[in-house]
Structure 1
Amino acid sequence: MGTSTPNKGPNSNNPLVPTWLEGGGEDTQPQGGGDGDPDIVPQPQIKPETGQRFRNPRSEMNRYFRTGDTGSMKSGVSRYVKNTGGKGSATKRMGSSTKAAGNLLSFLTDVAQRGTEAVAKSLNLTLRPDETVDELLLRVSDQICDVSTSNIPDAVARSAYIETIIEMTSTIGITDLDAITPEQIEASLSCFIGKSVTERIINDIGNNIVAEKADPVQLQKTLRELSGYIEGCASDAISKLTSDGMDIMNTALADKINEIYTSVFEILESVGGEE
């Protein structure tokens, strides 16, 4: 999965918008006392991750990584969604990825409609001679991802974006942004959403990949299969919206990103059966 770093991850109560952006962090500043006592900085209330909540889905996923059993993979992912609290909670757990997906869609549709040079100018960027598509996409990563922390949701968004750039310029075949097609935009959005969900799941329940000592070739194959499976679910979710009359080039689609993620998790939860 490229730059993904498996670990147990934070709990499912992470807010979509950090509380410090809403002015909730002012009480953490040192308060001077009048009696000469040293300043006391309140410590955040953080509950440690016990690891029990994801025990069953983690067990299923570890079995999948060892054996390549697709049934275990689908069951593990389904149980993961259930254990986060369902599709809505799983979507909130994605954090900044939902915003990044909307930004990517808006950027690509804007380029398709106004041209790369006009969009670059609006971002205060000067196009460089002979600049390739991947080089430009990397230069706008801050505008697309719009993250400033190193926490897991933000790291997931950046990692998924970088991997999406690779797919856009290879598998999807985007070599000239000025000639990008609606089909390529839809494929790029599906790719990012799928990869971000995959990265999030790996970080939450794939933390024993190395400990399980899976065969490197087998592990690479299973990670690729997992990503492809989830990207397929993302493609289905987007296709449902477009088949219902929503044009991929419609700017209003960027406001439907949370709905798409929720639909992806709904599909993932249902495919695992009634276990």
Structure 2
Amino acid sequence: MGTSTPYGGPNGGTPLVPSWLNGGAGPAGGDEPGNTAPTPPNGTIPPAGDANRFRGARGNYSRFASSGGRDRASLGRAISGYVSSSSGGARQAAQRMGTSRASGARLANFLSTAAAQGPLEALRLFKLDHLAGRPIEEVFIGLMEQVCPIGGTIDEGISRDAFVETIDDLAGAGITDFDNMTSEQLQTVFELYTTHTIEARLCNDIATKTIMLPANPQEAASVQKQLYEFILRGVADALAGPAKAVTALTSTQVQGFVDQVYEEAFAILRAMGEAEGDTK
């Protein structure tokens, strides 16, 4: 995970979910330094969260990182605690992903259009027809400006950095030809993006001060890899089954589908974390 916008972590006393954060429609990242939340629509400020709500997850992640990735039980406890205690449950954890969910919906819309109408028509509808026939990395770099435009908040940075990470992963996933992408490959793109956004959110919340704890570079790489693979498993399970095909969506179904995927992914991650945390 290579997000370029780390900070010291959110203040535990800030609201779990800002009242104006609804599916990414408004600005995101109001609980981070340098982000000013607008006045909520109903004129009220949501109650502050528990000032210590991140402590347990951060402590467990620190133990996992300090072990060089060997203490899997602490990784499980960190992730399950992050979802259940730090975020207030899977639904609220998903709601905190407002910008990523909005960007994910735009990406899913593009992918479903490519599946239903063909890659060239998807490019035309998204005003990217000048990229027809170009290498796949160029196509997705052009798409990035529409899916997750540059912004100044932490959440916007998470969304954009996750998209860059997804582009970097394409070749390794065997996705090299945009004009001939299969339905499975289109699904994989969405899976990778969703995984990277959750990974980046979690790292910004509980891991920014611990990611460099292993002194050995190989151990540091193992910590990073295990976190990513843990989250990828949860996202893959949330997307399993024909009913979860991104390529079968209509434009009216996209946002609800993405919201559901994030909530289910967090619920699965909590269950996986609890199972892992019970191993010792």
Is the TM-score greater than 0.5? Answer: yes
Moved more, 197-206 or 249-258: 249-258
TM-score using structure 1 length:
0.80
Deviations 1:55-93 (A, max 9, x none): 011000011111111111111000000121100110011
The equivalent residue for 2:122 is 119
State the Cα RMSD in Å.
Answer: 2.9
Distance 1:266 1:210 in 2: 24
The equivalent residue for 1:250 is 248
Matches within 5 A, 1:187-198: 187-198=188-199
| 8 A contact 1:66–1:215 mirrored in 2 | no
Q: Secondary structure at the match of 2:229?
A: helix
Q: Secondary structure at the match of 2:128?
A: coil
| 8 A contact 1:9–1:152 mirrored in 2 | no
Which residue identity does 1:249 align to in structure 2?
T
The equivalent residue for 2:142 is 139
1:215 Cα shift?
A: 2.9
1:268 Cα shift?
A: 1.2
Structure 2: 5+ residue stretches without partners: 29-36
Q: Do structure 1's residue 205 and structure 2's residue 206 form an aligned pair?
A: yes
| 8 A contact 2:187–2:247 mirrored in 1 | no
Distance 1:209 1:199 in 2: 14
Matches within 5 A, 1:23-172: 52-67=52-67, 68=69, 69-83=71-85, 84-128=87-131, 131-145=134-148, 147-168=149-170, 170-172=171-173
Deviations 1:138-160 (A, max 9, x none): 11112112x45321211111111
Cα 1:50–1:155 change in 2 (3 A) is farther
Deviations 1:30-64 (A, max 9, x none): xxxxxxxxxxxxxxx89999962200110000111
Deviations 1:177-224 (A, max 9, x none): 121111112222111111111110000000212573543321121111
Structure 1: 5+ residue stretches without partners: 28-44
Q: Secondary structure at the match of 1:7?
A: coil
The equivalent residue for 1:179 is 180
TM-score using structure 2 length:
0.79
The equivalent residue for 1:227 is 228
1:259 Cα shift?
A: 0.8
Identity of aligned residues (%): 24
Distance 2:107 2:172 in 1: 18
Deviations 1:101-127 (A, max 9, x none): 222122122123323332222223342
Distance 2:225 2:125 in 1: 37
Which residue identity does 1:231 align to in structure 2?
L
| 8 A contact 2:119–2:179 mirrored in 1 | yes
Cα 1:211–1:51 change in 2 (3 A) is farther
